[in-house]
Structure 1
């Protein structure tokens, strides 16, 4: 390797060395700041050296969840641990790609639609700024969520670049261990902190006797667990080696899913499971129906939640009210909406809310309505096109591959995403940070393996 080829990489390590010295000096005066900077520099250096390690660190933030949440701007926005770690990981990966002269955008079936969706999100916020209806601080808060969109989207490209067909199963095992860890933390939380009412002043809902784990919300966690169950059941239908691991993860996750007592989670899982059963193993249908009947008959809380759908309990009424509020605003701002993630301020203006600090204030209880109210009909159409393209890409990868693990991931992703789409019509799940991370990483792993097969 020539000196010229080594020069860019040496330059990066020189910057890291200078940063380390600077961190040591800062630590003398501000130990906590120095520690934070040191960890950031270490994360950057490790990811630069081993990009796959950076992706693994990003996935581990799923276990941390909402723990360590830092409110900003009067609790209008919060910084999560993943909001700090993921940008570092992405920047280090981009630096490595630049140094290795591989910083190119590979042809992808999602490239054009991703550009269009991202452009519409930015355009909606520009229109909101030009309208003069929002303060600079409000626009800054809204803009931070667009940065978060790009942050999680970058994980798709990172996962796509680091995965290899012979390492895919290892990544899926790692994801399975994360699923088990979250379920385990949920069981622990249910026994130690079954009543979350004490955390209402911090903006959380007063859930009692429901599995939340570190996500602090049973509905979003239920969406994740339903996706994981479907994915690992799909893997169990294809792989002989590792089948018992997949079935074990699915079994633990489905117990945790039941204990969330989330109707949206149940419905999303049933859709995903039904699609998987039709596509891969129709005998799953009879087993699924039997399991649902047993759960309904022997878990009284499940009976209560299901019967509550027919009687429109308080939760269902609040959800319907949220939909009506969103439709009213959409009628007034049909084309480009009120601006991406400005809905919390609009809700106060319309008299729907009196506190923008509530964690659910930024969206409607429906992902598609949230997209429509913030980016208009234009945004809704391109977002639906993105979902369709994601499903089509995963389906084609599953149909065309010769590798059983890739095939199982493809069909599992299609079924799981369809479940999340249904789940997301009752909570704003499709835009929830942790669920976005799972969607983009899994799709990146799938299409990365398919890219490798095409090159062989």
Structure 2
């Protein structure tokens, strides 16, 4: 094991543990238009060993289709930003470029994982345990937050949505936390751990998920679990899971606040308006879109009605990852993105296929594919797939 390999191993473990602080610790850049998180810093450090070995690795990785599509996606995003029709200041363009660099850093972790996994420097078991410890801590602190600090309305001025009486933990967003609990449940279900550990972790993740009141996360769980049971020919369990989710949803407490009403319609209306805007941008700029991560500035141009637009975190994206790619990088970026996902799915294990389906379903309601901590999970798992 070389010094670089040892350094990469420890950085990768820290990268997974950076899920725990998630959105709580951040450094503002460019006048609140963007932030740097601990995971960003670690992702940047993980790029260094790969950059040092780039010449040695170039010939090998150029033969892998997944890598080709990923490089094409980088190119599509860069070109969309370079030829953006929007009039942006240097700071705004720099902010957009920072997010592109973040995406490149997070996705390039596949090379580190593949190298360490292929050399048996790091094992799948170690990665799974590290993920379970991290998500277990996140869920635990979520319950502390739920009882001691369940109100995000006083942080609205910082750009956070005003969630109330929902578990959001260190993510400060119940929708993304819900997806993470789905991924954690899939990991527990498909991992070889002791039965009592499965029950304890499964219960922790399941009830944390339910108390996020995230309907998109519920649907992601149902579809991904259905996929798993159908593929493994254990269809008897499907009805049990659906009944468990349904009964728990009915019995959930309903304190004051619209966010905990599962029958709420206002969020559906807002999401439909968001989709209409994204579709309008795509239709007006179908080839290369308006530029990667320039949705916030497109909303200003199109006079999109959203409060706190320049500071709001949701103002930077669309409530659909596929529509986001189409609007910001056009049909070129969307085609490459879909081809990349198909390539990943074609060679993935059951865990990664189920996780990919869960993220894809969730991405129809929020921008899950480009959420930093979802990318930590997804691209580390994809790095393992590259061995195949």
TM-score, L = length of structure 2: 0.91
Query: C-alpha root-mean-square deviation of aligned residues, in Å?
Result: 2.3
Work out whether 1:427 is the aligned partner of 2:366: yes
Q: Paired residue for 1:365, among 306, 310, 319? A: 319
Q: Secondary structure at the match of 1:194?
A: coil
Find the aligned partners of 2:236 and 2:355 in 1 and give their Cα distance. Answer: 18
Mapped partners of 2:213, 2:141: distance in 1: 16
Q: Which residue of 2 aligns with 1:79?
A: 36
Paired positions, count: 378
Residue segments in structure 1 that go unaligned for 5+ positions in a row? 1-8, 10-45, 395-409, 451-456
**1:122-141 to 2 correspondence within 5 Å?**
122-128=78-84, 131=85, 133-141=87-95
- Structure 2, gaps ≥5 residues long: none
Deviations 1:254-276 (A, max 9, x none): 11101111111111111111111
- What per-residue deviation string (whole Å, max 9, x for no partner) do you get for residues 351-406 of structure 1? 11463221111111111111111011221121111111111110xxxxxxxxxxxx
Q: Could you tell which deviates more after superposition, 104-113 or 279-288?
A: 104-113
Check the 8 A contact 1:344/1:361 in 2, yes or no.
yes
Match of 1:447 in 2: 386
**In the alignment, which of 331, 336, 341 is matched to residue 293 of structure 2?**
341
Q: Taking CA–CA contacts closer than 8 Å with sequence separation of 6 or more, which of the two structures ends up with the larger relative contact order? A: 2
Where does 1:175-186 land on structure 2 (aligned, <5 Å)?
A: 175-186=131-142
**What is the aligned counterpart of 2:104 among 121, 128, 150?**
150
Instruction: Kindly indicate whether residue 283 of structure 2 is the aligned counterpart of residue 327 of structure 1.
Output: no
Alignment of 1:45-194 (within 5 A): 49-92=6-49, 94-95=51-52, 97=53, 105-106=60-61, 107-128=63-84, 131=85, 133-163=87-117, 167-194=123-150
- Secondary structure of the structure 2 residue equivalent to 1:336: coil
- 8 Å CA contact retained: 2:117, 2:384: yes
**1:245-324 alignment, distance < 5 Å:** 245-280=197-232, 281-301=234-254, 305-308=261-264, 313-324=265-276
TM-score, normalised relative to structure 1: 0.78
Tell me the alpha carbon deviations over residues 118-166 of structure 1, each in whole angstroms, 9 at most, x when there is no partner.
11111101111xx462222211111111101110011111111112568
Counterpart secondary structure, 2:35: strand
Structure whose alpha-carbon radius of gyration is higher:
1
Contact 1:109 1:393 in 2 (8 A): no
1:223 paired with 2:179, answer: yes
**Aligned-partner Cα distance in 2 for 1:132–1:322:** 19
Counterpart in the other structure of 2:352: 413
The structure in which a higher percent of residues are helix is 1
In the alignment, the residues of structure 2 paired with residue 427 and residue 253 of structure 1 have an alpha-carbon distance, to the nearest angstrom, of: 20
Instruction: Single out whichever of 157-166 and 114-123 deviates more from structure 2.
Output: 157-166
CA deviation after TM superposition for structure 1 residue 315, in Å: 1.4
